[in-house]
Amino acid sequence: MAQINFGGVLENVVTREEFTLEKAREVLKNETVAVIGDGWVEGDNLFEIEEACKRATIIQYLLSDAGQIASWPVIKPFLTKGKALYFSHGFGITFHEKTGIVPPADVDVILVAPKGSGTSLRRLFVNGKGLNSSYAVFQDATGNAHNRVLALGIGVGSGYLFETDFKKEVYSDLTGERGILMGALAGLFEAQFNILREKGHSPSEAFNETVEELTQSLMPLVAENGMDWMFANTSVTAQRGALDWKGKFRDATAPVFRDLYDSVASGKEAARVIAEGSKPEYRENLEKELKEIRESELWQAGAAVRKLRP
């Protein structure tokens, strides 16, 4: 385990160099891993949940949060002594009063949470790269939970692994999804696009200045070099404006992020997810919401811009 300086704070991380893929294979060589989720081929590697869990020594419980709640009575009888229950999200365990997910005491309960989508994780792994992941051990019944979780974390394609716990993972994840990763970003897109349109700018101009330049040009450079590099390598006009307005946006949004985190920590967000996700009409209502976004002028302009990319 290596100590890395993250902005003046030393954190323990596990890298591929110290916990190699070969070491992961050695740890897992006598394990049978069942992935409870999508993407399998019937007649080849697809089994009934009961059969998969019976065969497994490690059960990767990768259904949606609502799916985990619904399937828990099916899964739980197969969590026999010495097995491991693996999550990619801390929701079910952290909010167990609402989900009913309480594992028996004689199984390992572990988590690896890649910081990105499953499709990105697989694509990067195939290309010899990886997404960074958090990992956690909620319950070490066998004395081997740490080796199991690190081996699985490296095995699924993590760039490096940083330690957390189930509660911190779900609090940060729900805040991030609702905040800068999706909710806040989508809201900021809409706000700037709408103001530009109100002021007479064309849909193409408003979209390019709001979304296209950010996603296609600036964010890859920020990811590669950092925000200070981006400020240093733009015009004086852009530098001065960004530096002058950065604090205003930070101060204006900080109360919203604080309210958001408090809502997550209180369990209100989890309760809403469970209540809405369990409604039989949820998918139908979701499609209505997505249709409204898809057919908005902002994202209709986006569809046109994407078609024009070389």
Residues of the chain with CATH 3.40.50.720: 2-164
pLDDT of 139 above 90: yes
Model pLDDT for residues 86-102, shown as the tens digit of each residue: 999 999 999 999 999 99
Q: List the single range of 34-38, 167-171, 203-207 with lowest mean pLDDT.
A: 34-38
> Residue 1: pLDDT band by 50, 70, 90 thresholds?
confident
Express each pLDDT in 223-247 by its tens digit.
Answer: 999 999 999 999 999 999 999 999 9
Mean pLDDT taken over the chain: 94
Q: Is 93 exposed, middle or buried (0-12, 13-18, 19+ CB in 10 A)?
A: buried
- CATH superfamily, region 2-164: NAD(P)-binding Rossmann-like Domain (3.40.50.720)
- Per-residue pLDDT at 73: 96
Reply yes or no on whether the pLDDT at 39 is more than 70.
no
The dihedral sign for the CA sequence 114, 117, 122, 125: negative
Instruction: List, by residue number, the catalytic residues.
Output: 89
DSSP state of 46: B
Question: What is the length of the chain?
Answer: 310
- State the Cα angle at 133 between 128 and 137, rounded to 5°: 130
